[in-house]
Amino acid sequence: MKPVKLGLIGFGTVGSAIEDLINRNGDLLASRIGAGLEIVKVAVRDTTKKRETKLDTALFTDDPFDVVNDPAVQIVVEAMGGESLALELTLQAAKNGKHIVTANKHLLAMRGAEVFAAVGENGVELGFEAAVAGAIPIVRTLRSSFSANRIISLYGIVNGTANYILSKMADEGAPYETALSEAQRLGYAEADPTFDVEGIDSAHKAAILASLAFGTPVDFSDVYVEGVTRITAEDIGMAKEFGYVIKLLAIAKYEREMVEIRVHPAMVACSNPIAKVSGAFNAIEIDCSEGGVNMLVGPGAGGGPTASAMLGDIADIATKILAGSAGKTPSSMSQDPIAVRPMVEIKSRHYLRFTVPDSPGVLAQLAGLLGDNGISIASMMQRGRKADMPVSVVLMTHTALTANLDKALDEIGRLGICSAPTVVIRVEGEEE
């Protein structure tokens, strides 16, 4: 059998890991596919950069259109990232009849409708397992394993960088900046790490997951996004004292004919299996109508795990190419829109940390305004008493409506007693 020919766009952390994995497990892949895989073209930004590769340097180009327009290329493997150029290349690849495997969640979350339409119109395959949760086979699970189920909710950690940072801060007391630099050095972070730490990457993945799980197109602006940049060592320590771990969660739920899609830091009870998922690992709990609650855990970022997911898609498509069935059942996303529940309608318990003067009556003012807005307090903790210095007052609330909490915090802000922004962290998985 002639090898199946791949054209790579991008040869950074992920692209180079694909070559490495083909070099190491090429025989295994060939035995499973029925033919080998051959990289015949590679696009990079800078062809003069020194690279660790066994590929002939003549295969490298700085024009990614050379890849999508190369008649020899059967599968375009996009490991470049970004939105506009990636969309142009993907549409051109589909138009040229190339099958596509991508790790680009940014593209799929923002321009998925155009990509899926082009794939359908041109009868080509699209593999995007690597776009969500690294090596974890969540896309395949939702698309085929749970076909007979209604998905009720998805809940978990889908960004390795943010989880790595939070774990390093909680387990080793590492400063935020140090943990982020390590995550970047290890190849977990996006080219612009703001996407990781501000929750945008998790939100891209949550949008893709919600769309797969509930069969609805998702307008990315409907996804609620909060990142981890405001989480301090103090909050991590307080969480521990209350029996929680702080995680950046992505949550997608179908309830009362609406979906909620949100990404934010959350306190998770230490006894919850998600609390034990650390480093760059991801975990997704899937609650479905027939199969019950399932949890998938695995490496969520880095070249190796991502290459593993991409080569799974590549092997799948290559097998179909050899069988003559590739593109006969193109990836479709036929979807009816479902309304997205606004965040103000979400209820949860909350951790609130106020920075206020340590003087009589302050606690009563805070509790009073929370109470006036229907928010009841479950427990309270005060730390760091120093003469004439503001203190941290932590209140854990019972279940409260976000709209009520927003109003109470606005009224508390207007009292003029808080000397730093109030930290608000939702407590997930508990209603009281």
Min. distance of Cβ 72 from ligand NAP in angstroms?
19
Q: Does 64 bind ligand NAP (CB under 6 A)?
A: yes
Stretch of 5-13, 235-243, 260-268, 407-415 lying at the interface with ligand NAP (CB under 6 A): 5-13
Question: Could you give the CA distance from residue 76 to residue 90 in angstroms, rounded to a whole number?
Answer: 8
Among 130, 151, 203, 427, binds ligand NAP (CB under 6 A): 130
Pick from 50, 47, 102, 108: nearest CA to 83: 108
Dihedral sign from CA coordinates of 59, 323, 131, 221: positive
Q: Does 299 bind ligand NAP (CB under 6 A)?
A: no
196 binds, among ligand HSE, ligand NAP, none (CB under 5 to 8 A by kind): ligand HSE
- Tokens of residue 172, six digits: 């080793």
Would you say 287 and 293 are in contact if contact means Cβ atoms under 8 Å apart? yes
Let me know if 276 is a catalytic residue: no
Min. distance of Cβ 321 from ligand HSE in angstroms?
27
Segment 355-384, which members bind ligand NAP (CB under 6 A)?
A: none
Residues composing the chain:
432
Q: Does 49 bind ligand NAP (CB under 6 A)?
A: yes
Nearer Cβ to ligand HSE, position 188 or 224?
Answer: 188
Among 3, 12, 215, 357, binds ligand NAP (CB under 6 A): 12
The residue written with tokens 């969309």 in the block is 87
Q: Could you say which of 98, 105, 205, 253 is catalytic? A: 205
Residue 416 has a CB neighbour count (10 Å cut-off) of 7
Q: Does 190 bind ligand HSE (CB under 6 A)?
A: yes
Q: Does 196 bind ligand NAP (CB under 6 A)?
A: no
Question: Could you give the CA distance from residue 151 to residue 22 in angstroms, rounded to a whole number?
Answer: 35
In order, the DSSP letters of 140-188 are: HIIIIITTTS-EEEEEEE--HHHHHHHHHHHHH---HHHHHHHHHHTT-
Q: Does 161 bind ligand HSE (CB under 6 A)?
A: yes
State which amino acid sits at residue 324: G
Q: Does 13 bind ligand NAP (CB under 6 A)?
A: yes
Q: Does 134 bind ligand HSE (CB under 6 A)?
A: yes
Min. distance of Cβ 309 from ligand NAP in angstroms?
8
